Structure 1
Amino acid sequence: MEFFAARFVAFIGQAANFVWGPPLVFLVSGAGLFFFLYSRGLPFRHFQLALGVLAGKHDSTSSPGLVSHFQALSVALAATIGMGNIAGVAVAIKMGGPGAIFWMWISAILGMATKYFTCSLAVMYRGRDSAGVLQGGPMYVIVEGLGKRWKPLAIWFCIAGMAGCLPIFNANQLTQAVREIALEPAGLTSAGMASAVIGVTLMALTAAVVFGGLTRISHATALLVPAMVVVYVVAVVGIILINISEVPKYLTLIFTDAFGANFFGGEPMFGGALGGLILLGVRRAAFSNEAGLGTAPMAHGAAKTSEPVHEGLVAMLGPVIDTLIVCTMTALAILMTGVWQTGDGSGVTLTANAFEAAYPGFGGYILLLCILAFGISSLFSYSYYGMKCFSFLFGAGRVNIYAAFYVGTILLGAIASMDVILNFIDLSFALMSVPTLVSALILSPKVVKETRRYFARKGERAVAEAGGEL
């Protein structure tokens, strides 16, 4: 039995490394660059409008949809601001060194353009599920935008989505954090028993929310995410201030190592260590902000709006918050405290070591509080994504079957090895990105046309309000 388990683990790792090879890196990065150039950076010039839409200044009670712009962004951020920002950044630095963060930044900037296009499409091509409820997401974009003959691509996305959105990684890292930061130092219980107890507790908390549907999920995440972002940012700002003299050194190191790859410890790609570092940055950025994977369009496609451009602009804020801000702060905390070179931990443990180094005696508990909020809210968001994929394939009336399976896998994630879980999620995310980006690339002229039409109308309104003059 152990032989077959080892072979399965090895197969998952090889499959993840294979699919995240040059073709997929070119697809993810190339699509983002194409969207940025094709739109001529137009969405990037309207951050003020995006913030206004997010604040509800352009809401209409008669607009179709289920949740507000803020709730849609909260659901999307609940999935991305979590283990990807805390554990994923630590994994990237441990494997690739400071330079990996630079390539995560580049991927995030391109990911902003990707999210604008994919989430605008999610509103442009909404469809109705078997219960007649208006829904959005790559599967509906494919069927409604490209036609029924493309449905196999939508099915591909949903199968990969049901696997990729399982809570195993979040449950694994949550369990590791609670066990190593709180329980084991106190000598309360053994690692195996602790993992099982934590897993069962997480199952109960998640079940209480996910069986309530999107409304309950969106309300829970809208409460948890903003509060914990503030707590986390304040804590990391404190670490930065404590080590303020080190900031220029490590910001410089991030840039220089991005092209030197002096700390890269993985397999070379594209002919050398630099290629491997770029691949690592793209892979971890995808895990962090999920641009191009198709998860965010499922959340933003449910927003109450009749303007696709509005939701595209709001979605574009996601990579700014989760990667350019939160991931960078996590990286600086790990780098400036020196634990990336002296610590033996990986994933969430490495980040916990950084907090404890900055705030001896209680730093780990500050991080644990943030991890619990981020991780649990991620469990809520991913359940919605998985159930939406299941509903598309098997009908809205059977969605609780997936919800029960989803909750059950939390215990599996709590006791399983992180390596096999991370590779499984990476593999599933890669498979999700193909139908999402292929459909977005094909339909991109529609987005550009809608964007130009929207801003033309907006300009005409401005002229009218100015009495015919600008």
Structure 2
Amino acid sequence: MEQLTMFFKKVDAFVWGPPLLILLVGTGIFLTLRLGFIQIVKLPLALKYLFTKDEDSSGEGDVSSFAALCTALAATIGTGNIVGVATAIKAGGPGALFWMWIAAFFGMATKYSEGLLAVKYRVVDDNGQMSGGPMYYIERGLNNKFLAKLFAVFGIGVAFFGIGTFPQVNAITKAVEITLNIPIIISASILTILVTLVTLGGIKSISRVAELIVPFMAVFYIIGAIIILVFNIKLLPETVMLVIKSAFTPTAATGGFLGASVMLAIRSGVARGVFSNESGLGSAPIAAAAAKTKSCVRQGLISMTGTFFDTIIVCTMTGIVLILTGTWKSELAGAEMTNAAFKSGLPIPIIGQYIVTIGLIFFAFTTILGWNYYGERCTEYLFGVKGIRTYKYIFIILIASGAFLKLDLIWIIADIVNGLMAIPNLIALIGLSGVIIHETKKYFDEFKYKETENVKSVGKIG
């Protein structure tokens, strides 16, 4: 097992080397500049769209734009926000959080572009369901079936062996064992049954569960983190300064922390940030394609808020609590580290312990549901609707076995397949950037025209 872990570590280091990091962040920077910093300029409008009914909801689609976002957030707000942030800071020091912010900021432009293309190039499958995502905009936009199929293969790989199964199951069963003393075999069995019941219902069943759980779980977790910040408000400026300073200077060894170089902080922050918010991976647009809307730009804006909520808000809360409480310097790792941070940060320790455990259970469970759908759409693309049932059976078997694998190996495998999935998607985003700019300009030109006409109409009435 040790030799196998070492082998995968070498593959992981190669996949997540400087070329992929540059491609990920570079694509975000490129799209940010071409779109005129859309993640800043249009964020208020994106948030407005998120909480108002879509006038174009008569468009083709399976679920509402909000439900599509909740499904995407179900897949993104997961163990990356609790375990992933702890893993990043444990490896790269407090500076890793800063690089998560940078990756997320530029990743918002990437996520906007992915959502836009997903709706523009989506199709209806033989079951009457919407199918979209990178495999379709690569094939129909770039006219490259090889890259499209490659993405779909890697997408199934991530669903089976990456974000979709092992890290989530492992996190849930470990957290329940530590906090509630429930044996892993029991929690793994219950989890498998629940996943089976929900996922067999398809996107409508998954989105209904996501709409109920995602807003609740995010608010519940954020409130817990805010209470810790309020009780330790004096340490907040010092914590933020440590994050910024550590992003540009090596972090010295202290306590159980072994020290980290700037490059390690960047690599840890970007890799874990992508694992959490999935910008550039091409997963979220698969859910965005199911939205009932006629406007690809509107859905792109709504998709963009997913990265904002996931990393800029939820991951930041976790990271600040870990650093502010000093838990990042301990010998602990993963969920245990975050658990300890919440316990030490709150006046009643047991409350902190339950916040992390309950948050982790909900976060990880909904991530499993979201990734089940992503893998299903990739399977449908490669094998047609006839392959979906076999895919779901394999997925359920992997869920049942995911609790019994070592954490280190799980994260390494997840990192590798994530990186491989991102490559064809990023190539497509760069290749189709002209389409993204054209659709964006066209939409906002029409938007300005409508606003001008509305002002004229009001003036005439007055």
TM-score, with structure 1 as normaliser: 0.92
Contact 1:182–1:365, Cα closer than 8 Å, also in 2: no
1:52 Cα deviation from its structure 2 partner: 2.6
Residues 112 and 291 in structure 1, CA contact (< 8 A), matched pair in contact too: yes
SS in 2 for 1:464: helix
Aligned to 1:191: none
- Assess if the C-alpha contact under 8 Å between 1:298 and 1:385 holds in 2: yes
SS at match of 1:155: helix
User: What per-residue deviation string (whole Å, max 9, x for no partner) do you get for residues 275-306 of structure 1?
Assistant: 22211111111011000001101011111111
Any residues of structure 2 matched to 1:353-432 within 5 Å, and which? 353-357=340-344, 358=346, 359-432=348-421
User: Aligned to 2:290, what secondary structure does the other structure show?
Assistant: coil
Question: Per the alignment, in what secondary structure is the counterpart of residue 349 of structure 2?
Answer: coil
Q: Are 1:153 and 2:127 an aligned pair?
A: no
The code of the aligned residue for 2:236 comes to V
Query: 1:461 deviation in Å?
Result: 1.1
Deviates more, 1:243-252 or 1:45-54: 45-54
**What is the aligned partner in structure 2 of residue 165 from structure 1?**
159
How far did 1:469 drift?
A: 9.9
Residue type of the alignment partner of 1:178: V
Amino acid at match of 2:444: F
**Aligned residue type for 1:171:** V
Paired amino acid for 2:372? S
- Equivalent of residue 79 in structure 1, options 69, 72, 75: 75
Deviations 1:32-80 (A, max 9, x none): 0000011111453122321232123333342111111111111111111
2:177 to 172, 176, 179: 179
Q: 2:36 aligns with which of 27, 40, 60?
A: 40
2:198 aligns to what?
A: 209
Correspondent of 1:459 among 433, 441, 448: 448
Measure, in 2, the Cα distance between the counterparts of 1:59 and 1:211: 31
Aligned equivalent of 2:318: 330
Task: Could you list the structure 1 runs, at least 4 aligned residues long, displaced by more than 4 angstroms after superposition.
Answer: 263-268
The 5-angstrom pairing of residues 203-282 of structure 1 reads 203-263=192-252, 273-282=261-270
User: In the alignment, which of 133, 140, 143 is matched to residue 144 of structure 1?
Assistant: 140
Instruction: Measure the CA separation in 2 of the matches of 1:411 and 1:209.
Output: 15
Distance in 1 between residues matched to 2:408 and 2:262, nearest whole Å: 23
Which deviations, in whole Å up to 9, do the C-alpha atoms of 1:406-426 show, x marking residues without a partner? 111113221100111101111
How far apart in 1 are the matches of 2:17 and 2:263? 10
Cα distance in 1 between the residues matched to 2:5 and 2:215: 37
Per the alignment, do residues 367 and 42 of structure 1 end up closer, same or farther by CA in structure 2, a change over 3 Å counting? closer
Aligned AA (1:218)? S
Give the aligned residue type for 1:173: A
SS in 1 for 2:456: coil
Residue 275 of structure 2 is aligned to residue 287 of structure 1:
yes
Is the aligned partner of 1:346 residue 2:346? Answer: no
Partner Cα distance (1:142, 1:267) in 2:
42
Q: 2:299 aligns with which of 305, 311, 315?
A: 311
Point out the more displaced range, 69-78 or 5-14: 5-14
- 1:9-31 CA-to-partner distances (Å, cap 9, x unmatched) read 22222111110001101110100
Rounded to whole Å, the distance in 2 between the matches of 1:20 and 1:404 is: 31
Give the direction of change, closer, same or farther, for the CA distance of 1:266–1:363 in structure 2 (3 Å limit). closer
Kindly provide the amino acid, as one letter, of the partner of residue 437 in structure 1: L
SS in structure 1 at match of 2:350: coil
Structure 2 Cα separation of the partners of residues 340 and 205 of structure 1: 34
- 171-180 vs 6-15, greater mean Cα deviation: 6-15
Instruction: Report which stretch shifted further, 195-204 or 428-437.
Output: 195-204
SS in 2 for 1:467: helix
Distance 1:120 1:372 in 2: 31
Does structure 2 conserve the Cα–Cα contact (< 8 Å) formed by 1:181 and 1:352? no
- C-alpha separation in 2, matches of 1:212 and 1:422: 29
Segments of 5+ residues of structure 2 without an aligned counterpart are: none
Decide which of 120, 130, 133 is 2:129's aligned counterpart: 133
CA–CA separation in structure 2 for the residues paired with 1:215 and 1:58: 18
Residue 25 of structure 1 corresponds to: 21
**Does the 8 Å CA contact 1:267/1:276 hold for their aligned counterparts?**
no
Tell me the TM-score normalized by structure 2. Answer: 0.94
Match for 2:61: what amino acid? G
Determine if the alignment matches structure 1 residue 90 to structure 2 residue 86. Answer: yes
